[in-house]
Amino acid sequence: MSYEKVKQAKKIKIGTKQTIKALKSGSVHEVIIASDADQRLVSSVIKQAEEYQVPITYVDSMKILGKACGIDVRAATVAIMD
């Protein structure tokens, strides 16, 4: 389900740094986080999303999340933009 949201989104930001930048800009509709990502890596994204009251959705696999984004590498986080 959430992988489909990523595939259908018109504008996304991939990766923890880009997701945090997007959250600070205030234009994020939803954050997708892979459950198998390193917790230390995604903790700052979770903190920022909670601070800006952006919903977080968890998916199982970084590999599948990366494919849903159209990239050949794994993705820990994805921001779906407004």
Q: What is the CATH number of the domain that holds 40?
A: 3.30.1330.30
Mean pLDDT over the full length of the chain? 95
Q: Which pLDDT score, from 0 to 100, does residue 82 have?
A: 82
Please, what is the angle between helix 39-51 and helix 16-25, to 10°? 10
Q: How many domains does the chain have?
A: 1
Mean pLDDT of 38-47: 96
pLDDT of residue 2: 83
Residue 1 has pLDDT above 90, yes or no: no
What value does the mean pLDDT take over residues 65-79? 96
Domain that holds residue 56: 2-81
- Tell me the average pLDDT across 30-47: 96
Nearest by Cα to 78 from 60, 51, 57:
57
For 4-8, 30-34, 55-59, which range has the lowest pLDDT when averaged over its residues?
4-8
